[in-house]
Structure 1
C-alpha cells in the first residue's frame, strides 16, 4: 500500500483557508452561538511595514465583497483588500512556540517581525 500526499494548490482567485484554520474559526463561531457571522479578512494602512492585516467576525455584507466558503465557514474580503490578498493562505498553528492565525501572502514584498504588517 502506498501513501499518497495531497498538496493543496495555491488559490489564484482569493484567499485559501486551511483545514486547521477553518476548524478553529468554526469552533470560535460555535462558541459565539451565531451562524450569521463570517470571517472578514482586510488590509488596512498601518503597522511598521505600511499595511496590516485585520481578521474579525462580521455580519455585514458589503458591495463588492469576495466570499469563499471553507468547511462551513464564510471568508469575506472587501474589494479594496482583495488584490493585496490574492493567493494568500491563512493557517492556524498551535505549538509550544506560537498559537494563532498566520498569513502566508505571496504579494507581500516584506514584512516585520510581528507578522501583522507587510508591504
Structure 2
C-alpha cells in the first residue's frame, strides 16, 4: 500500500482554507475520535455528471494523497486527484449560504445547486 503524504499547499493539490480547517477540527472534536481524516472524493452522479463527497474516514487506501492543514489531514483518493488539483475547500456561515464550498478550477460547469459539476 502506498500513501503519498505532503504538508505543503500548492496549486497541484487541494487547498483547505483556515476557516474550513477550524470547522473540520470542531466537527472532529464532536466525533471524539482521533483516527479520522477528511476524505474528499469525486463520484459519478448529480445533474452535471460528477459530484463531490466530503466525509470523515479512518481508512488508508492505495494511492491516497494526504495533505496536512494545521493538524487537519485531508485525503484524496488517486482517482479523484486529477479532478481536484487546485480546488479550494472553504466553509461559509452566512444567511445566504452555510456549509462547505468547493471552488474548483477544473470544473467547466456546474448545476444550480452546486453539488455537481462537469
1:32-79 deviation digits (Å, cap 9, x = unpaired) = 001100000000000000000000000000010000011210000000
**Alignment-derived partner of residue 6 in structure 2:** none
Aligned residues: 110
- In the aligned structure 1, how far is the partner of 2:80 from the partner of 2:44? 11
The residue number in structure 2 matching 1:53 is 52
After superposition, residues 2-81 of structure 1 pair within 5 angstroms as: 11-81=10-80
- Structure 1 ranges of 4+ moved more than 3 A: none
Whether 2:95 is the aligned partner of 1:109: answer no
Q: CA RMSD in A?
A: 0.9
Per-residue deviation, 1:11: 2.7
Following the alignment from structure 2 to structure 1, what is the Cα–Cα distance between the partners of residues 66 and 116?
23
Where do 5+ consecutive residues of structure 1 fail to align?
1-9
TM-score between the two structures when normalised by the length of structure 2:
0.91
Greater CA radius of gyration, 1 or 2? 1
